[in-house]
Amino acid sequence: MSESSPGPVVDLDPWAQLVGQLEARARLEAAAVSPVHAYLFLGNRGSGTFRAALGFAGLILASAYDDRPAADRALSLAVDGKHPDVVVIEPQGAALRVSEAEEIIRAGLRTPVEGQRKVIVVPGAEAMEEAAIGKLLKVVEEPPPSTVFVLLAEEVPPEIVTIASRCVTVEFGPLSPLDLERALLDAGVDPERASVAASAAGGDLDRARLLATDDDLADRARLWQEVPRRLDGSGYMVTELVNEVRSGMDRAQGPLEVQHQAEVGQLEARVEQLGERGSGRAELVARHKREIRRLRSDELRFGLATLARTYRDHLVEGSNLEITEPQTHQALRAIQTGAENLIRNPNEALLLQDLFLRLEPSAP
């Protein structure tokens, strides 16, 4: 923390796991001593909003203590997600449901366990069921004095504007490839691999770290780059490419599945020691499913971006693609449509099949 910060005096760095985002850090340090009732951290997944929320929560809780050891303990537990007064409630499905909104309300109304305040962190706040929005609005607008809400969202769709208007917004920009590459290099990743992973991660640090362990990344990039050259007007080739792309996505799950297996092993060890009750097994399974869905969507975005870059390079620099300029523009529009359709969680095979058919030079 900077010496000029008005925040609590602590020896630990609340932002040790946060890359970049210097402006957001400064705002949160200034707000920690006397926080308002609700904040909205706005930024793409992987930009650091969740880690920032834990660091901010730690500073809020640490500000209640005059001695450094107590303040450092509160901060350390919060940053690790283990403080009893930091409650994380994440949607288990595609959108936050009424039952989860009710859980947030109950958590918000409870008194703090240890200190004077508690912080409720809600990731994925951009997607809420209509009834859940109505339930949350009042408690977010007028929570108990001891409660601070931190909502995390990638965007503010019209449905949650009323809730967003009750919050102080702190924006987190996407991380640059250079920021990501430095973070990977600091973690000991090979320079060449760090460069490739950083450029393919789309500003998402979590994805960059995962890609850095992925031996197949360069091969998947080459597959997408070769799509325009391999399309030959036949349905057989479209089917072949769809199967190859999906096989590559299956392989891309490998590092994440290894991580999931390790977490399941840790859970099983806790269950054996402490019993099943309260183990969080259902939450772990649900999170693993969400992370796999996100990974596959990220893989499609990476592929579409690689494909678009191939067509743009042909447009600007020329290449051995035997297509005209209008056909190139047509292909770029088809890729953009495919990217927009990802928001609706489409069937992978159908999306890819439709895209590759539209990329055929003779397609309308």
Q: How confident is the model at residue 224 (pLDDT cuts 50, 70, 90)?
A: very high
Task: Give per-residue pLDDT as tens, 65-75.
Answer: 888 888 888 88
Residue 2 has pLDDT above 60, yes or no: no
Please name the fold of domain 22-171.
Rossmann fold (3.40.50)
Domain boundaries in the chain?
22-171, 175-213, 216-359
Closest CA to 109 of 83, 80, 138, 72: 138
Task: Give per-residue pLDDT as tens, 315-326.
Answer: 887 777 778 888
304 near 346, Cβ under 8 Å?
Answer: no
Task: Give per-residue pLDDT as tens, 151-203.
Answer: 999 888 888 899 999 999 999 988 888 888 888 998 888 888 888 788 777 78
Mention every residue, 6+ apart, whose C-beta is less than 8 A from residue 360. Answer: 231, 233, 238
Task: Give per-residue pLDDT as tens, 138-163.
Answer: 888 888 899 999 999 988 888 889 99
Task: Give per-residue pLDDT as tens, 332-360.
Answer: 999 999 988 887 778 899 999 999 999 98
Lowest mean pLDDT among 53-57, 184-188, 281-285, 300-304: 281-285
State how far the Cα of 199 lies from the Cα of 181, in Å rounded to an integer.
8
Task: Give per-residue pLDDT as tens, 10-65.
Answer: 567 888 888 888 899 899 999 988 899 999 999 987 888 999 999 999 999 988 88
Write down the pLDDT at residue 147: 92
Mean of the per-residue pLDDT values of the chain? 85
Residue 285 has pLDDT above 50, yes or no: yes
- Structure-block tokens of residue 153: 């969202």
